[in-house]
Amino acid sequence: MKLLSRKASCNSHGQDSSYFAGWEEYEKNPYDEVKNPQGIIQMGLAENQLSFDLHESWLAQNPDATGFKRNEESIFRELALFQDYHGLPAFKNALVEFMAEIRGNKVSFNSNNLILTAGATSANETLMFCLANPGEAFLLPTPYYPGFDRDLKWRTGVEIVPIQCTSSNGFRITESALEEAYQQAQNRNLEVKGVLVTNPSNPLGISLSRHELNLLLSFIAAKGIHLISDEIYSGTVFNSKGFVSIMEVLMNKKYVNSPVWDRVHMVYSLSKDLGLPGFRVGAIYSNDKMVVDAATKMSSFGLVSSQTQYLLSAMLSDKKFTKNYVIENRKRLKQRHAMLIRGLKNAGIPCLESNAGLFCWVDMGHLLSSKTFEAEMELWKKIVYQVGLNISPGSSCHCVEPGWFRMCFANMSEQTLDLAMQRIKSFADSISDSNNISRNQQHSNKNSRRKSFSKWIFRLSFHDRETER
Ligand SMILES: Cc1ncc(COP(=O)(O)O)c(C=O)c1O
C-alpha cells in the first residue's frame, strides 16, 4: 500500500454507493428473456437504445464513413497519424451545428469556443481543474447524478456542497436554497467557485425554467462565481414546452459582455442524445478564452479518437439524418416515458411530472416501513433481490427525502419494460395486501380489545349492579 500514491490508495472515488452497487448486482444476475428470465432487469442505467436502427441504416448507406474513405479514396493513413489536441475542424463544426439544432437554432455556437473531451465525464472534471483549486467548492442542487461525486471531486480535490431542493415545490431551485448552500460552504470554510446544474436534470427528468436560469445568473453575478450547465440531456426533451439552454438566456442583452458572460460554461456529450456513450464524445463550451486555452491543453489527457471524429463528422453533417433523428428519437422517448408512467400508475406509484431524460423520478414513500433512509435501503434491497429490478435509490443522488428512486426506461425493449412493470405491480400489491392484513388484524385486535373492554365494563357494571342490589 505504501508504494502507492494517496490518490490510488484512498477510498474517495465515490463509487462505493448503492448506485454503483446496483450495477454490480445486475452484472451477477442479468435478466435475459431466454437464458435468465428470473434475472435482474437493469433500470439503473441511463442509456438510450431506442434509435439504433436509425444509426444503422445511415451507416449502411454511407460506407465511406466507416471504411475510412473520402470520395472512395482511403484516408486511413491521415486518420492513423498524429492528431493535435484541437480536434478535427470538420467535426467541431458539425457538432456545434448539431448543438444549435437541438436548441431549435435559437442559439448559435462558435467552434473556436468548443473543446472536445472524452465524454461529459472528462468535460466536467476538466472544468473543475480550470475553475477551482483543491479544497474549493461547487454548489450542486440535489438530487444530483451520483457520478459527480467521482467526476468533480476525486482527482481534483474539489468539494461539493448541496443546494437542498425538496418535493414541496417539485425540487425546483430557489433563491433561499442557493443562499443557504453558500452559507453552509462558508460555515465549512470552503471558498465557493461556482454552481453546477444539469439541465434537463438527471435524475429528475425536468428542465430548468427561465425563472430558475435567471435566478442562477443573478446569483453568480452577485457572488462573483462561475456557472456550469451540464446539458447532456438537451436532445432528450420529449415535451414541446420545454428546454431553455443557459446559452440562450445568456444571449439576452443584459448579459452579453457583462461580467457573467465569461463565467458561464456549458457541457455537452453525444452519450445520451445520440445514444453513443461508448464512443466517448463530449465537449466544453465557454466564452472565456483562458478557459478555452487551458481546457484545450488539458484535453490531451482524454482526446476523442480521429476515426470517431471522422465518422461522426460525416453523420452529423448530414442534415437530413440529424433532423429526422432528433424528431424520431424524441417521439420514441415520449412513448416509452408514457409506458413507464402508465405501468407505475397501475401499481399505485406516483412520479414527478417530467419532460425529458431517459428516466423518471419515482415516489415510493408509501412503500417504506418508516420515513427513514434505512427504510429506503431496506426497500431498495427488496426491489433488487426479490422483485429483480435494479433502480437507483434517491439517497445515492443525495436526495434529502427518503422514498424517491430513479427508474430508467430507454435501455431495454418494450417487452422487458412491460415485465418490469408487472413485477413492480405485484410487489406493490403484495405490500398493500400485507398492510391491509395487518391493518385488519390491528382493527380486529382493536375490536376484540374493545369487545373485551366492553365485556369488562359490562361485567363491572353488572357486578356493580349486583352488589348494589
Ligand atoms: C448529468 C450527467 N453528466 C455527465 C454524465 C457522463 O456522461 P459521459 O458518458 O458523456 O461521460 C452523465 C452520465 O450519465 C450524466 O447523467
Best residue among 149, 202, 276, 284 to mutate for probing ligand 1's pocket (most ligand atoms within 8 Å of CB) is 202
Task: Give the CA diameter of the chain.
Answer: 119
Which residues contact residue 248 at a Cβ distance below 8 angstroms, ignoring those fewer than 6 apart? Answer: 103, 106, 107
CA 128 to chain CA mean position, Å: 19
Strand partners, 74: 69
Say whether pLDDT at 460 is over 50: no
The residue with cell 442479468 is 30
Q: Residue 237: CB within 6 Å of ligand 1? A: no
Q: Residue 281: CB within 6 Å of ligand 1? A: no
Looking at ligand 1, which atom is closest to the CA of residue 277?
A: 9
Dump pLDDT digits (tens) for 141-164.
999 999 999 999 999 999 999 999
Best residue among 272, 392, 408 to mutate for probing ligand 1's pocket (most ligand atoms within 8 Å of CB) is 272
Structure confidence at residue 1 (pLDDT): 55
Q: Read out DSSP for 277-319?
A: GGG--EEEEES-HHHHHHHHHHGGGGPPPHHHHHHHHHHHH-H
Say whether pLDDT at 465 is over 90: no
* Alpha carbon distance 245, 231 (integer Å): 8
Q: How confident is the model at residue 447 (pLDDT cuts 50, 70, 90)?
A: low
Find the helix or strand (DSSP H, E) in which 408 lies.
strand 404-408
Q: At what angle do helices 306-317 and 319-346 cross, to 10 degrees?
A: 90
Q: Does residue 143 have a cis bond before it (omega within 30 degrees)? A: yes
Which residues contact residue 83 at a Cβ distance below 8 angstroms, ignoring those fewer than 6 apart? Answer: 303, 305, 306
Check: CB of residue 117 under 8 Å from CB of residue 283: yes
Grid coordinates representing 260 are: 457573467
Q: Residue 230: CB within 6 Å of ligand 1? A: yes
- Which of 122, 153, 129, 89 lies closest to 291 in space, CA to CA? 129
* Alpha carbon distance 360, 248 (integer Å): 26
Min mean pLDDT across 23-37, 210-224, 370-384, 434-448 is at: 434-448
Q: Residue 217: CB within 6 Å of ligand 1? A: no
Mean pLDDT across 289-297: 97
* Alpha carbon distance 303, 92 (integer Å): 13
Structure confidence at residue 308 (pLDDT): 95
Check: CB of residue 245 under 8 Å from CB of residue 229: yes
Grid coordinates representing 187 are: 460555515
Catalytic residue positions, numbered: 145, 230, 232, 272
Residue 411, amino acid: N
**Average pLDDT of the chain?**
91
Q: Residue 277: CB within 6 Å of ligand 1? A: yes
Check: CB of residue 314 under 8 Å from CB of residue 391: no
* Alpha carbon distance 144, 99 (integer Å): 23
Q: How confident is the model at residue 443 (pLDDT cuts 50, 70, 90)?
A: low
* Alpha carbon distance 33, 419 (integer Å): 10
Mean pLDDT across 317-334: 97
Mean pLDDT across 22-41: 94
**Percentages helix, strand, coil for the chain, rounded to the nearest 5?**
50, 15, 35
Structure confidence at residue 451 (pLDDT): 47
* Alpha carbon distance 309, 302 (integer Å): 13
Structure confidence at residue 400 (pLDDT): 97
The residue with cell 418490469 is 420
- Which of 280, 199, 275 lies closest to 232 in space, CA to CA? 199
Residue 431, amino acid: I
pLDDT > 90: percent of the chain:
81
* Alpha carbon distance 416, 46 (integer Å): 15
Which residues contact residue 249 at a Cβ distance below 8 angstroms, ignoring those fewer than 6 apart? Answer: 210, 213, 214, 217, 255
Q: Ligand 1 centre from 357 Cα, in Å? A: 12
Q: How far is CA 152 from CA 184, 263, 398, 448, in A?
A: 19, 18, 15, 60
Dump pLDDT digits (tens) for 205-247.
999 999 999 999 999 999 999 999 999 999 999 987 689 999 9
The residue with cell 434529502 is 400
Structure confidence at residue 10 (pLDDT): 82
86 versus 189: the higher-pLDDT residue is 189
Q: 123 in helix, strand or coil? A: helix
Q: Residue 304: CB within 6 Å of ligand 1? A: no
In eight-state DSSP terms, residue 112 is: G
443 versus 189: the higher-pLDDT residue is 189
Mind listing the domains of the chain with CATH numbers? 10-52+333-428 (3.90.1150.10), 62-322 (3.40.640.10)
Q: Does residue 259 have a cis bond before it (omega within 30 degrees)? A: no
Grid coordinates representing 288 are: 472565456
- Taken as a whole, the chain contains a residue count of 469
Q: Ligand 1 centre from 230 Cα, in Å? A: 9
214 versus 14: the higher-pLDDT residue is 214
Grid coordinates representing 9 are: 490508495
pTM of the model: 0.92
